Amino acid sequence: MTEGYIPSFLADEITPPPRPTPDDWIIAKDGRFYIGDDDGSAAITNGEAAEFMRLETFPDSKLTIEDDKTWKVDPPAPKSDQVMIAYDSDTMDDSVESLVQNNELDPGTYHLHFYTWHDEVWSFDAAAGKFLRGAA
């Protein structure tokens, strides 16, 4: 499993790739601090809370659907909150069983991605130039 962080305000249909820590989203410019990236940023001050989404990414699996609509997953699906067919967010579901039931999938092999998202609050320490877990 790997994990990364994304500022909540940047999470949408085109979410940037997660970064290893919330601190990796800090931009220092002209004596001020910002949180974000080139596509969007917001000023942040000492003690201010910032919401992040922590993404846990689990090892991928293969879903094989047979002609008779039976299916199997190899290796077995990890304990995660979301699963989707690789690069097809329209198939996002809460389990492989639900994904198979809710999509008209032809027989064949599909590559699956597994995720769990967590909402977290971090407080900004301007003197240290970093985030601390939790609200101030």
pLDDT the model gives residue 12? 81
Residue 121: which pLDDT band, with cuts at 50, 70 and 90?
very high
Q: In what order do the strands lie in the sheet with 32-37?
A: 26-29, 32-37, 40-44
Encode pLDDT of 45-75 as tens digits.
999 999 999 999 999 999 999 999 999 999 9
CA–chain centroid gap for 65, Å, is 27
pLDDT the model gives residue 136? 67
For the whole model, what pTM was predicted? 0.80
Residue 29 one-letter amino acid? K
Encode pLDDT of 2-37 as tens digits.
999 999 999 887 788 999 999 999 999 998 999 998
